[in-house]
A and B are shown apart, each in its own frame.
Chain A
Amino acid sequence: MHSEQSFILNNVWLIPAIPFLSFLTLGLLIRNFPKKLQDQLSGIVATLAVFSAAVLAYWLAWEYFHLFPAGVAKQALVPWSFEWLRYQENLAVNVGVLVDPISVLLMVVVTTVSSLVHLYSTGYMHGDPGYARYFTWLNLFTFSMLGLVVSPNILQMYVCWELVGASSFLLIGFYFEKPSAVSASKKAFIVTRFADLGFLLGVILLGYYGYNLFASVAPSLHASGLTNVQPFDFAFLTNPEVMNQFMGMSDTFMGMGVLTLSMVLIFMGAAGKSAMFPLHIWLPDAMEGPTPVSALIHAATMVVAGVYLVARMFPVFAASADALLVVMYVGAFTALFAAVIGCTQDDIKRVLAFSTLSQLGYMMFALGVSSMDHPLGYTASMFHLFTHAFFKALLFLGAGALIHAVHSNSIWDMGGLAKKMPVTHATVLIATLAIAGIYPLAGFFSKDEILVAALESGHTGVFAIGLLVAGITAFYMFRIYFVAFWGKPSHHSEHAHEAPISMLIPLIVLAIFTIGAGFVPMADLVSIGHSAGGHHGINWAVAGPSLFVAAAGISFAWFMYVAGGKQRSAALAGALGGVYTTIKQKFYFDEIYLFITKKIVFRFIATPIAWFDRNVVDGGVNLSGWLTRASGAALNSTQTGQVQTYGAWFVGGAVTVTLVLWIFFL
């Protein structure tokens, strides 16, 4: 395509391949080494592998955005692919690497956060008995996530989607001797698997109609330069011509158009992975895993896979207004819902988990409010994904440092840590300001852009929710900040001291990113649809109120937890009474799910099915076994062991066959 194409653009496959090779080395080779050598090697190998992938990713981003600078339409390149499955002439599935703005963006985010988390983990996990196993799974996760990001077709994405789910399962259940970790990993796996069922159905539905269209559309696609395109490729599914055909389809199912139905199903998968309401219940529990894992998987990368999927399929979503509305409402509701719960939690990681939910809701509704004609929300969503990854990973790693110091997750056990852990304090403050949306930190720019997009799209209600959530976010983030760093020291935090240098470096690097990421001209890099290009600038009509709201949230937090001490917050909680308890119990969603699964599904579906299985199915199996034995016993007597008997049978058979042939066929 371009003769001056550089090494990295032709060899993008290296970026996922390096963590994969490292995973294999760790999992197959190093695990056989003696324990001591294993611990020394595994951290170094894993970290170096991911760091080199990160270097390549930055190189790729540099080359790609130089190849397509601002104002130039960005092409999606597939520099490397091979045929994986071929079912027939018109139906093949390739494995390959797709390079386009959002995949480059995600590669940068994933490798950056992952390498910093690896580095952090060498300190955080030091001395853990499962040290080598930890890095093996972490590498597997990095590989799967990169594979997901670069997928050029929806089936490869589905495979990697399940792979990240599996590695997330393995890492949540890393402390498998703890029953709570085991049940949390099971919960995460089952809930996301349930959502993936929808995803798979959506893929199949889309693939079926896509395949039926393929033969008629393929010639013109080939003519327009899209050679070697297959029905499952994003390039095919998001092609305008294909979309027109889809929209023209009159097939409906339960009153929904095929396109809407498949998009809603695919969004179900995305909602499961991104923990959107009502499939959010697994994410807070997933905090049972080691804290760096929470930072990498459950804050920065895997949970944004759902957002990424919606962004990847955005043209298709945009073609179905109803599906996009679903995305918007689910996103906005989750943002508010999770933010409210976040105000009441005491476990620092759970607060961060709910804040992640809330921010993911932001990204989702940003996608929901945009369209192909007004793609600002798309850009804003990707921008927020980008900035959120850094400041949320920083918050988690900072929380990890706090937990490491005080050996407790509860914010009330911390307190007075500002002086004892100055570096952690400074970096966490930066991240907290960023998530609260204070100028000029990263969160301000992306959140501002999302709010502008919501306002411009005309969904005023959603804009209002976004603004409200910004205030709540500022409140609960500063709540944990004030309590942990400024509050009264507890007996836990008296002997706390600063984390080791390997944990501090990632914090500092992420803090730098958090400060700088907002100035990335995202509108020049990532956009879609018709009105491409043109940096928006800061819309002070929106930024002003949002800054004001954030400041109000911070002040309220100061008023409640610094000026008022514990009594005032307790008084407020007492005044709210049942409402407070309901929120603190996360609106009893876990209990509702338990009720539905245990009382309804188990009793009225699973138990009868079990009975059916035990009596009818097993009975059938037993019957066939009995029949076989009985007929065997009956036929046994024909086996006299005497050759002459067999000879008689043989002659009889030959005569019968001859007669039959002669009578019926001659």
Chain B
Amino acid sequence: MSDFFLSPVGLQHWLVVSTALFSIGIYGLLTRRNAVGILMAVELLLNSTSLNFVIFNKFATPSAVDGQIMSIFIIAVAAAEVVVGMAIFVTLFKHRKTVDVTSMNLLKN
């Protein structure tokens, strides 16, 4: 473990950071009660993914830029997702006067 911190920063350090961000996103996804909070957690997930692409781009294929392009796509998809998510939550709020996801259990049993 100490080797990990003593060695110069490399691919694995970066990956661990992005994995940590992803895990935190998962935690938020599973525990937040506010739907907008969940959307934020999803943004964390997407951001960590995009980070991953750039990391691999730098360490695996530094001469090409494909990873960065994928990152751009992810950002665009994230934007689209937020737009749709927001619209859904706003409509949901209009109907049910709440965005607490624990109260949404129509699928129960």
Direct interface between A and B, CB < 8 A: yes
Binding site for B on A (CB under 8 A): 636-637, 639-644, 647-648, 651
Chain B residues, Cβ within 8 Å of A644: 29-31, 101-102
- CA A643 to CA B105, docked complex, whole Å: 8
B101 touches A642 (CB 8 A): yes
- CA A647 to CA B102, docked complex, whole Å: 13
B104 touches A636 (CB 8 A): no
- CA A647 to CA B101, docked complex, whole Å: 13
B75 within 8 A of A: no
Chain B residues, Cβ within 8 Å of A642: 101-102, 104-105, 108
Chain A residue, CB-CB nearest to B38: A644
Smallest beta-carbon distance A665→chain B, Å: 21
A639 touches B108 (CB 8 A): yes
Chain B residues, Cβ within 8 Å of A641: 104-109
B109 touches A636 (CB 8 A): yes
Chain A residue, CB-CB nearest to B108: A641
- CA A647 to CA B32, docked complex, whole Å: 12
21 contacts between A and B (CB under 8 A): A636-B109, A637-B109, A639-B107, A639-B109, A640-B105, A640-B108, A641-B104, A641-B105, A641-B106, A642-B101, A642-B105, A642-B108, A643-B101, A644-B29, A644-B30, A644-B31, A644-B102, A647-B29, A647-B30, A651-B26, A651-B30
In the A-B complex, list the 3 residue pairs whose CB atoms are closest, starting with the nearest.
Answer: A641-B108, A641-B105, A641-B107
Chain B residue, CB-CB nearest to A637: B109
Chain A residues, Cβ within 8 Å of B31: 644
Chain A residues, Cβ within 8 Å of B106: 641
The interface size of chain B toward A, counting residues with CB under 8 Å, comes to 12
Binding site for A on B (CB under 8 A): 26, 29-31, 101-102, 104-109
Chain A residues, Cβ within 8 Å of B30: 644, 647-648, 651
- CA A648 to CA B30, docked complex, whole Å: 7
Smallest beta-carbon distance B39→chain A, Å: 13
- CA A651 to CA B41, docked complex, whole Å: 15
Chain B residue, CB-CB nearest to A636: B109
Chain B residues, Cβ within 8 Å of A639: 107-109
- CA A644 to CA B103, docked complex, whole Å: 11
- Counting chain A CB atoms within 10 Å of each CB, the highest count among B101, B106, B109 belongs to B109
Smallest beta-carbon distance B11→chain A, Å: 18
Chain B residue, CB-CB nearest to A642: B105
Smallest beta-carbon distance A629→chain B, Å: 14
Chain B residues, Cβ within 8 Å of A637: 109
- CA A644 to CA B107, docked complex, whole Å: 12
Chain A residues, Cβ within 8 Å of B107: 639, 641
Smallest beta-carbon distance B22→chain A, Å: 11
Chain A residues, Cβ within 8 Å of B29: 644, 647
Smallest beta-carbon distance B108→chain A, Å: 3
Chain A residues, Cβ within 8 Å of B102: 642, 644
Smallest beta-carbon distance B92→chain A, Å: 13
Chain B residues, Cβ within 8 Å of A648: 30
Chain A residue, CB-CB nearest to B106: A641
Chain B residues, Cβ within 8 Å of A636: 109
- CA A641 to CA B106, docked complex, whole Å: 6
Chain A residues, Cβ within 8 Å of B109: 636-637, 639, 641
A-B contacts besides A639-B107, A640-B108, 17 pairs, CB < 8 Å = A636-B109, A637-B109, A639-B109, A641-B104, A641-B108, A641-B109, A642-B101, A642-B102, A642-B105, A642-B108, A643-B101, A643-B104, A644-B102, A647-B29, A647-B30, A648-B30, A651-B30
- CA A644 to CA B108, docked complex, whole Å: 12
Smallest beta-carbon distance A71→chain B, Å: 88
- CA A643 to CA B41, docked complex, whole Å: 14
Smallest beta-carbon distance B16→chain A, Å: 16
Smallest beta-carbon distance A288→chain B, Å: 61
- CA A648 to CA B108, docked complex, whole Å: 16
- CA A642 to CA B101, docked complex, whole Å: 7
- CA A637 to CA B105, docked complex, whole Å: 13
Chain B residue, CB-CB nearest to A638: B109
Smallest beta-carbon distance B96→chain A, Å: 14
- CA A639 to CA B108, docked complex, whole Å: 6
- Counting chain A CB atoms within 10 Å of each CB, the highest count among B29, B30, B101 belongs to B30
- CA A640 to CA B30, docked complex, whole Å: 14
Smallest beta-carbon distance A172→chain B, Å: 58
Chain B residues, Cβ within 8 Å of A647: 29-30
Chain A residue, CB-CB nearest to B29: A647
Smallest beta-carbon distance B49→chain A, Å: 14
- CA A644 to CA B31, docked complex, whole Å: 7
Chain B residues, Cβ within 8 Å of A651: 26, 30
Smallest beta-carbon distance B18→chain A, Å: 16
Chain B residues, Cβ within 8 Å of A640: 105, 108
- CA A643 to CA B102, docked complex, whole Å: 8
- CA A431 to CA B100, docked complex, whole Å: 99
Chain A residues, Cβ within 8 Å of B108: 639-642
Chain B residue, CB-CB nearest to A643: B101
Smallest beta-carbon distance B61→chain A, Å: 23
Smallest beta-carbon distance B32→chain A, Å: 8
